Structure 1
């Protein structure tokens, strides 16, 4: 688990938990977040088990719930779809938004993610400039959801 905290000034999204097993992708996510200045607290979980333990601790009030989750689908100890199901059993899409950010482009995966309650599904691009653009877009999307919750 990697934890990065900075100040909240100028950030689009507050706490973002992300589930990503691939170190290269994790480094790209962290670099994109840092360069786009869109998140003030970024926490990585590299396995389904690690994230589910964190989610249990959040539900028990032992740790702070993230504002949003960025979720890979293909994980070494399970599927991101399993994680998404667990999240949706405890939180609505408004309470805890989830963006699936995966290398898979199959229509079946995309439909399954939305059927399970994903707020957003984006494919991981190959070029870093596009990777950064998509991460910034995800942060902006989460920020708009968070602001709309605060207005209600």
Structure 2
């Protein structure tokens, strides 16, 4: 799942994850507060949550903080997917217990490779944890 207020970025991520052979169920939302409410209401949690930083209402850091301080959600793997390369943003993400921080590449092919690599890594990490 991706939470990003930029609909075009959500569609690009969806397109990148529709790459043949990835076999990924992808959802996105433009509203962090709406997603948090759905989680609190018992919605199925995603296997992996990606957050943009700069969003109205609640930014990615605020969403991450709520998730990591809510006992029912704190084990949800959450990463930041942002255009920001600022060291203070990267540090803030890890201080809030983000599992990873990815800087979005400019070219679509790089974005696709990045997301497919992330998905492959995460699947292998999950399998290793349950083996």
Question: Which ranges of structure 2 fall in alignment gaps of 5 or more residues?
Answer: none
1:139 aligns with: 119
Normalised by the size of structure 1, how large is the TM-score? 0.78
Structure with higher strand content: 1
- Runs of 4+ off more than 4 Å: none
- Match of 2:19, SS state, is helix
Q: Deviation at 1:55?
A: 2.0
The total of aligned residue pairs comes to 129
Q: Cα RMSD (Å) of the superposition?
A: 1.5
Q: 1:107 aligns with which of 87, 111, 120?
A: 87
The alpha carbon displacement at 1:39 in A equals 4.7
Q: Distance in 1 between matches of 2:22 and 2:69?
A: 28
Counterpart of 2:29? 45
Most deviating of 65-74 and 140-149? 140-149
Output the TM-score relative to the length of structure 2.
0.89
Q: Per-residue deviation at 1:23? A: 1.5
- The aligned counterpart of 2:5 is 21
Per the alignment, in what secondary structure is the counterpart of residue 41 of structure 1?
coil
1:39–1:139 Cα contact (<8 Å) kept:
no
